[in-house]
Structure 1
Amino acid sequence: MELILIAIVALAAVLAFACVLARTRVKNRLISLAAALGEEPPGSASVSDLLSLVERSAERVRRHDSEVERQQQRFALALSAMTQGAVLCDEFGSTVMHNAFARTFTEARHGNAIVRAAIDDMLGRACNGEHDQREIELFGPPPRLLFVTAQPLLDGDEHLGALATVDDITDQQRIESIRRDFVANISHELRTPIGAVALLAETLVDEVDPLVVRRLSIRLRDESFRVSHMIDDLLALSQIEGDGVTESERIRVAHLVGEAVDRIRPAAEQAGVSIKVADFSEGLALRGDRRQLVSALFNLLENAVKYSDAGSIIEIRAAGDDDEVSMVVQDHGIGIPAKDLDRIFERFYRVDQARSRETGGTGLGLSIVRHVARNHGGSITVSSREGEGSTFMLMLPTGLEAPARAEVK
């Protein structure tokens, strides 16, 4: 019996020691875990205190990890929203991230593979500490011009990787080209009449013959009007391009046509050209900028008058429904060569340079028409045959709901 009691006591002692040892191990592990989580628990802390401390630390780490994940999401979304391509690589040159715009090149085939090869080469150089930038021309279609840069990412002396960016500068280059062409064109266009004015004025100084003086004065007046007309067209084009539709109102198409015809009638009568307005619905209307729309119709009519021979008839028609209105100006003049049809809406472009000089054309009228159409969400089209005449169609959305059309006055 005594042996049994001794055995029981010994077993209890062993179990107690094992519990103490296990508790100590648990405590030590909790202390190590707390230290790994950035905590410094006091030596007198109980297991319960250590558990609470570890739980709080774990919650803090979880929140930190969640914030890091959100920051990564923000970074990825910001990259995707960029209008330029971005490719990020590590210090070994391996790509670790790229946005959607850059993906069209990094996963490219055919023409875009040229860009991919350039990016890889430039990132390799950047990983060696070099800065690089290149312009890459893609012949398309459509043709594109890309500006690619690459730079190393350094934290002090530590090399962390490299970043390449890709900018599509096609539109920027096109706008710069248009600007240069515009400056060159306007300089050339103004030089001719201004030079003529200077020459005529110089000749007038010493001229005594009244008939010659009169003839030179008329020429001087005409050249002055030509310069004035060109400046007026430039100002009108600048306003239309810059302002968009500034004063939108409901307008009857009949009023627009009538106002434009009244403005061009003196020039048409002087040229011996008749203008015929076809019958159309008096209720036909649209919403837009009256000044711009009248200007567009006037320029179409003026263009028709200038390129029609005496005795010709210019017809103007209009039609439409609740959604769209079309206004057509048709002449029976000299027509437009097929090779010029794609360019007649460009600034200063003239099909017949000699005739433009005779009629005082500035080469800006059709460009004004095109911008008015764009400002109103419409379009301008042309069909023409040499020797038979031209037909211009201005298509515009009404901007009116069906019930509202009846209220237009």
Structure 2
Amino acid sequence: MHVPQHALLIKLVLCGLIGLATGALLGHALAGFSVGLLVWAAYQIRRFNQLSEWLQREDGAEPPEARGAWGELFDELARMQKRGRAREQYLRGIISRFQQSSAALTDAIVIVDNQHNLEWWNRAADRLLGLRATSDRGKPLMNLLRDPRFVRYYRKGHYQEPLELPSPVNSDIRLQYQISTFGDQDRLLVARDITRLVRLEQTRQDFVANASHELRTPLTVIRGYLETFLDQELPRPLMRGLNQMQQQARRMESLVTDLLLLSRLEASQHISDEHPILIHALIRQIHEDGEALATERGHRFVLDIDPEYDLLGQENELQSAFSNLVFNAVRYTPDNGTITLRWWADTQGGHFSVTDDGIGIEPMHIPRLTERFYRIDESRSSASGGTGLGLAIVKHVLVRHDGHLSIESVPGEGSTFTCHFPPDMVVPVRRAE
């Protein structure tokens, strides 16, 4: 917008000259000049007041009629106002469409500002989270979603993995929370109803648990008779077949045991309570079991244990997870290899790692290693006697302890499996004792 200043100056000079000439004719030149300037000023003030009144109106009225510089100013402002209204209407349309589309979503969507206060949410959030548009806007999120597990998840600030919790409105509804950050540390919270998926998963778990439990009895009977037959003096071909049957029966028993354990771990995402664990004694016991398993393999074990810190959790679950990692290292490390067990704590939490100098793992297999029954090499896994469930058990034990598993491996050089635990699960040794 440009208003020609020379036009205003010309009018100012003309008013002054006219006043000066009129005053000179009347014998008061200076007074006439002043009156001329006052007339010009009064005209400008009147136009300014007209402009101010028009700008304050919101009914879209046409600008006041004027000529010259003021006319150009009014016209330019009118055009800017029309463009602004069109832009505002366009943006309102976008916001309206966004609100309509988000209202149609079945997932709850909540926007939280950088002060952790509720800024906006859709209708599904009213139904799933119990938020009220009339009273909850601007309130802290923690005052409305008070579950300690959600509060801990929110405050950690690490949202790579979603969180599953019952709905605060209806405990029969299972929600999956996912948080993303955007802008100036604002957060977008999405809560998805996964009740149906949870029920399907529960049905699968119940089936696996029941089937595994029912298999125990016939397997026990079969193994009992096999042991009885093997104690007899029987022909060599028959003994060979009975030995193979006994090996497969033991393998099936291990599979059933792992399936039952995995089903129990999957029954809940968190441990019911936490107990101080003498982690040093636990690792040494697992070390002895690993040495017994590797008696004929010639493996060398190295222990590197931080004596200052212990761990909180469920000892039997952690023993199962750590044992699986150590026994896998024994099975898949060539004879006379080195296996290192390490426990340490730092500002990131507690860590237990098992390192071997075995055959290693190709990078494409690493993301899928914790899947049930996933095998890199079927023949190698069968020969080792593994069930294909060990790392799945490790994963679920760590999830229940708010931890996670990391895997580093170089083909031909070895692998390192590390269990990471949060800082609040690590305690000084003297406290545990």
Using structure 2 for the length normalisation, give the TM-score.
0.48
1: distance between equivalents of 2:262 and 2:338? Answer: 28
1: distance between equivalents of 2:378 and 2:290? Answer: 22
Counterpart in 2 of 1:68?
A: none
- Return closer, same or farther for 1:286/1:357 CA change in 2, 3 Å cut-off: same
- Return closer, same or farther for 1:239/1:314 CA change in 2, 3 Å cut-off: same
- Return closer, same or farther for 1:180/1:237 CA change in 2, 3 Å cut-off: closer
**Count of aligned positions:** 246
1: distance between equivalents of 2:202 and 2:371? Answer: 10
2: distance between equivalents of 1:266 and 1:401? Answer: 30
1:252-307: CA deviation from partner (whole Å, max 9, x where unpaired): 321221122223322122443332212x3322211111111111110001111111
1:214 pairs with 2:204:
no
1:210 to partner: Cα distance: 1.7
Give secondary structure in 1 for the equivalent of 2:424: coil
Letter in 2 for 1:333: G
2: distance between equivalents of 1:250 and 1:331? Answer: 29
Letter in 2 for 1:408: A
2: distance between equivalents of 1:358 and 1:236? Answer: 23
1:359 to partner: Cα distance: 1.3
1:350 pairs with 2:346:
no
Alignment of 1:34-73 (within 5 A): none
Give secondary structure in 2 for the equivalent of 1:326: strand
2: distance between equivalents of 1:276 and 1:354? Answer: 29
Counterpart in 2 of 1:267?
A: 293
Letter in 1 for 2:311: L
1:332-386: CA deviation from partner (whole Å, max 9, x where unpaired): 1121111111100011111111111111111100011111111111110001122
1:52-78: CA deviation from partner (whole Å, max 9, x where unpaired): xxxxxxxxxxxxxxxxxxxxxxxxxxx
1:368 pairs with 2:402:
no
Letter in 1 for 2:252: V
Query: 1:322 touches 1:400 (CA, 8 Å); kept in 2?
Result: no
Q: Which runs of 5+ in 1 are unaligned?
A: 1-78, 87-97, 103-166
1:399 to partner: Cα distance: 3.0
Counterpart in 2 of 1:99?
A: 123
Using structure 1 for the length normalisation, give the TM-score.
0.51
2: distance between equivalents of 1:277 and 1:401? Answer: 19
1:178 to partner: Cα distance: 11
Alignment of 1:108-187 (within 5 A): 172=196
1:324 pairs with 2:340:
no
1:299 pairs with 2:324:
yes
Give secondary structure in 2 for the equivalent of 1:276: strand
Query: 2:312 touches 2:426 (CA, 8 Å); kept in 1?
Result: no
- Return closer, same or farther for 1:168/1:283 CA change in 2, 3 Å cut-off: closer
Match of 1:225 among 243, 250, 253: 250
1: distance between equivalents of 2:249 and 2:398? Answer: 30
Greater Cα offset, 305-314 or 170-179: 170-179
Q: Which runs of 5+ in 2 are unaligned?
A: 1-101, 110-121, 127-190
1:290-335: CA deviation from partner (whole Å, max 9, x where unpaired): 1111111100011111111111111111111376111110111121
Letter in 1 for 2:274: S
1:57-109: CA deviation from partner (whole Å, max 9, x where unpaired): xxxxxxxxxxxxxxxxxxxxxx99x96579xxxxxxxxxxx72569xxxxxxx
1: distance between equivalents of 2:336 and 2:206? Answer: 36
Give secondary structure in 2 for the equivalent of 1:393: strand
- Return closer, same or farther for 1:312/1:400 CA change in 2, 3 Å cut-off: closer
1:224-276: CA deviation from partner (whole Å, max 9, x where unpaired): 00000001111111222225424521123212211222233221224433322
Letter in 2 for 1:266: A
1:406 pairs with 2:427:
no
1:102-138: CA deviation from partner (whole Å, max 9, x where unpaired): 9xxxxxxxxxxxxxxxxxxxxxxxxxxxxxxxxxxxx
1:393 to partner: Cα distance: 0.8
- The percent identity for this pair of structures is 28
Match of 2:310 among 261, 285, 291: 285
- Return closer, same or farther for 1:259/1:176 CA change in 2, 3 Å cut-off: same
Letter in 1 for 2:287: V
1:143-189: CA deviation from partner (whole Å, max 9, x where unpaired): xxxxxxxxxxxxxxxxxxxxxxxx967785698589879989x99xx
2: distance between equivalents of 1:289 and 1:85? Answer: 34
Query: 1:252 touches 1:283 (CA, 8 Å); kept in 2?
Result: no
Give secondary structure in 1 for the equivalent of 2:405: strand
Alignment of 1:391-402 (within 5 A): 391-399=416-424
- Return closer, same or farther for 1:217/1:368 CA change in 2, 3 Å cut-off: same
Match of 2:271 among 245, 258, 261: 245
Alignment of 1:79-90 (within 5 A): 84=107
1: distance between equivalents of 2:314 and 2:198? Answer: 29
Query: 1:286 touches 1:399 (CA, 8 Å); kept in 2?
Result: no
Letter in 2 for 1:337: E
2: distance between equivalents of 1:242 and 1:268? Answer: 34
Give secondary structure in 1 for the equivalent of 2:396: helix
Letter in 2 for 1:367: A
Letter in 2 for 1:351: I
1: distance between equivalents of 2:246 and 2:365? Answer: 32
- Return closer, same or farther for 1:327/1:170 CA change in 2, 3 Å cut-off: same
2: distance between equivalents of 1:298 and 1:365? Answer: 9
Give secondary structure in 1 for the equivalent of 2:388: coil
Indicate the RMSD between aligned Cα atoms, in angstroms: 4.3
Counterpart in 1 of 2:412?
A: 387
1:258 pairs with 2:287:
no
Query: 1:323 touches 1:400 (CA, 8 Å); kept in 2?
Result: no
Query: 1:287 touches 1:400 (CA, 8 Å); kept in 2?
Result: yes
2: distance between equivalents of 1:351 and 1:175? Answer: 31
- Return closer, same or farther for 1:307/1:249 CA change in 2, 3 Å cut-off: same
Counterpart in 2 of 1:40?
A: none
